[in-house]
A and B are shown apart, each in its own frame.
Chain A
Amino acid sequence: ETGVTQTPRHLVMGMTNKKSLKCEQHLGHNAMYWYKQSAKKPLELMFVYSLEERVENNSVPSRFSPECPNSSHLFLHLHTLQPEDSALYLCASSPRDRDNSPLHFGNGTRLTVT
């Protein structure tokens, strides 16, 4: 049990579908993150939320839309994705944004876009 739970674990979707990834943390953390992990590439930070406010958006295409309704939940809404978006999407949390505290990661959602 990592304290950060992601669902679903696996997702296969067509390019015209709309789906959502969910992340939940019960650690009392105030910052939550979405990362993209592709084969043979460094982890890419996509979005950062601090106290439910988006504080970072790293030039992510608009087909990815994050939502943070409260400090325990984070969503990534997906629509009209491309095959190159297939990757492992990792959610993480930390006590606060922009300090030296370690990140706590979920187990990820393995996304395949067909």
Chain B
Amino acid sequence: GNSVTQMEGPVTLSEEAFLTINCTYTATGYPSLFWYVQYPGEGLQLLLKATKADDKGSNKGFEATYRKETTSFHLEKGSVQVSDSAVYFCALNNQGGKLIFGQGTELSVKP
């Protein structure tokens, strides 16, 4: 079946550090891949997405590239800010299927 695995948190970084949150998936066919972000006290928001192999999704300085050969969709940001502190969810959606979420990775950025 389809599944998503994320690196466990919490991840604690200093401001301006480089961020990587790993995400790998198992799926049949060619799913679309997503990163959602949940800020404290809020629901999830779509951060970025990629719909086919080698696509790069980007938003707010975050990037993720759909790597079919390694079944990965790692989230990266070159310089994190305190305001990026949140929980990040990787997710996949197969056409005709439901959205499958990873367990979430908490990011804490210290000044």
Query: Are A100 and B102 within 8 A (Cβ)?
Result: no
Residues on A with beta carbons closer than 8 Å to the beta carbon of B46: 102-104
Query: Are A45 and B103 within 8 A (Cβ)?
Result: no
Contact partner, B45, options A41, A48, A56, A105, Cβ 8 Å: A105
B1 within 8 A of A: no
Q: Would you give the shortest CB distance from B46 to chain A, in whole angstroms? A: 4
Residues on A with beta carbons closer than 8 Å to the beta carbon of B103: 40-42
Q: Which of B22-52 contact A (CB under 8 A)?
A: 32, 34, 36, 41-46, 49, 51
Instruction: Encode A71-114 as 1/0 by CB contact (under 8 A) with B.
Output: 00000000000000000001010000011101111111000000
Query: Are B43 and A99 within 8 A (Cβ)?
Result: no
Known: A2-B45, A98-B96. A43 touches B32 (CB 8 A): no
The docked-state distance in angstroms from the alpha carbon of A48 to that of B98 is 10
Residues on A with beta carbons closer than 8 Å to the beta carbon of B41: 107
The docked-state distance in angstroms from the alpha carbon of A89 to that of B36 is 17
